[in-house]
Amino acid sequence: MVENDNKAEVDIFRDTYIRYLGYTNEVGEAFRSIVPKSIVWGSYVVACGYVLADTFDKGLLAYKVDTSPNRTKRICLSTADTLLWQGFASVIIPGLTINRLCAAVRFAQNKSVKPMLRSPWISTVIGLASIPVIIHPIDLLVENSMNATFREWTGYKPLKS
């Protein structure tokens, strides 16, 4: 399959700072109370572009590496696996988490009688501060969920785990 030249292969979409493009929508969600909705939706475009780029990359890798008779199946499973994993780990779950966290903060702010506590920047700062905290647990949750569902059902094992 993959030649081993004693160097750890770097996945630019998961092992470099490019990974943070997948979290652009969380930044958009954190700023939702301050910026126009078009900017929030634009952040989703960037995050979804990242997901599609990684999906294409993993499909291309499977195409280049796999020479078995099941090559087409492996390419399809690789792209589906990446699309599902990235979709949930980079866009859906973190975006929903930050959205609901910021909404809860804004709800609590509306109950406050102190004007200083009603600043929209409070929910933004809390949303931004929570992004580094949620990244790894969500990645682990999605990885374990994929192993127990899609990968179990299809028999697919990613090239790099």
Predicted pLDDT at 4? 43
Concatenating the DSSP letter of every residue in 60-96 gives: HHHHHH--STTHHHHHHHHHHHHHHHHIIIIIIHHHH
Neighbours of 125 (CB within 10 A): 13
The answer to whether residue 134 scores a pLDDT higher than 60 is yes
Note the helical H segments in 6-160. Answer: 24-30, 37-65, 71-86, 93-111, 120-148, 150-154
- Separation CA 23–CA 48 (nearest Å): 10
Taking all residues of the chain, what is their mean pLDDT, rounded to a whole number?
A: 89
The answer to whether the CB of 123 falls within 8 A of the CB of 33 is yes
19 vs 133, higher pLDDT: 133
Cα of 31 vs its chain's centroid, Å: 18
pLDDT for 115 equals: 77
Contact call for residues 42 and 31 (beta carbons, < 8 A): no
Q: Between 115 and 136, whose confidence is greater?
A: 136
Q: What is the pTM of this model?
A: 0.85
Which tens digits make up the pLDDT trace of 46-94? Answer: 999 999 999 999 999 989 888 888 889 999 999 999 999 999 999 999 9
For 14-42, how does the pLDDT look when each residue is reduced to its tens digit (9 = 90+)?
Answer: 888 888 899 999 999 999 999 999 999 99
